[in-house]
Amino acid sequence: MPAQRLTVVVTRRLPEVVETRMTELFDVELRESDRPMTREELAAAMARADVLVPTITDTIDAGLIGQAGPRLKLIASFGAGFDHIDVATARGRGIIVTNTPGAVTEDTADMTLALILAVTRRIPEGLAAMQSGEWKGWAPTAFLGGRIGGRRLGILGMGRIGQAVARRARAFGMQIHYHNRRRLRPETEAELEATWWESLDQMVSRMDVISINCPHTPATFHLMNARRLKLMKPSAVIVNTSRGEVIDENALTRMLRAGEIAGAGLDVYERGAEINPRLRALPNVVLLPHMGSATLEGRIEMGEKVILNIKTFADGHRPPDQVVPSML
């Protein structure tokens, strides 16, 4: 007798090819609209599902996990980050949590380099001049930016994405420096031509560009706080394609307004979609709507990883992308 198909509830719209494959494999409840579920809708979904497929916009805290039904045994998150899920509480309830690591690496690294170029070469200012019809022709001193070749890039967080950023930046002629919880293996450092800094303060004070590529954890919350931001050179810029909570956004805004930091390129924000309006008004800031991983190829790969995690779990095996305490 065939095994009963799992009931899978998906909280947001996913690429059509992913939804189609899920429908073939599982009893899936798909979203008709792409608005995030309310807390009440999430609680109801967790009460009836065998598997919940949330995204980073869904906060799965201890309170919600406490309301989960006895059937819920797997939270297969669509995304690499898992700071929106109380993994410890889920584990205590016997609920496995998985994510989709690696699927967003190349796309996020591409966007990091795009932001570095956009800020240093003043691309949005040029675009705005063209769209407004204000451009009157080329001039020797108009829209002068800076060359990134030869500049020091300090990468905060040298995991998959940080290393992918390093490879791209090195091709542009940048000098690669990094701070990480653990130093890379010598052969990896040699391949990337990267210099490790044990002291984050010392690295920050000497870099021309800072790239945030570390996850959000209690240890990294406001890692770039007001004190550390003040260590940056006035000519330096900072980009963040990781998690907004790593930077003290109010302190960053004050320093950008005061000219104490030359510029910033941000794809993520400390309070999600609630962006400081003073930050929006600054000409030396490039703001993107969290689109670092927004490629069709990347989102399909994320969906394939979610499906593999669910299928492996359904077959009675440990999912390949299970989040374990050592990752927290």
CA 160 → CA 112, 262, 264, 293, distances in Å? Answer: 13, 28, 22, 14
What digits encode the pLDDT tens for the residues 231-247? 999 999 999 999 999 99
The number of domains in the chain is 2
Residues 258 and 115 in one domain: yes
Q: pLDDT tens digit string along 98-118?
A: 999 999 999 999 999 999 999
Does residue 2 surpass a pLDDT of 70? no
In a domain, 2, yes or no: no
Give the pLDDT confidence score for residue 3 in this predicted structure: 57
Q: How many residues does the chain have?
A: 328
Is 178 in the same domain as 304?
A: no
Structure confidence by residue, pLDDT tens digits, 140-159: 999 999 999 999 999 999 99
Whether residue 1 is contained in a domain is answered as no
Q: pTM for the whole thing?
A: 0.90
| Cα(45)–Cα(61) distance, integer angstroms | 14
Q: In angstroms, rounded to a whole number, what is the distance separating the alpha carbons of residues 91 and 75?
A: 11
Whether 57 and 151 share a structural domain: no
Tell whether 71 and 178 lie within a shared domain. Answer: no
3-state DSSP assignment of residue 85:
strand
74 vs 4: which has the higher pLDDT:
74
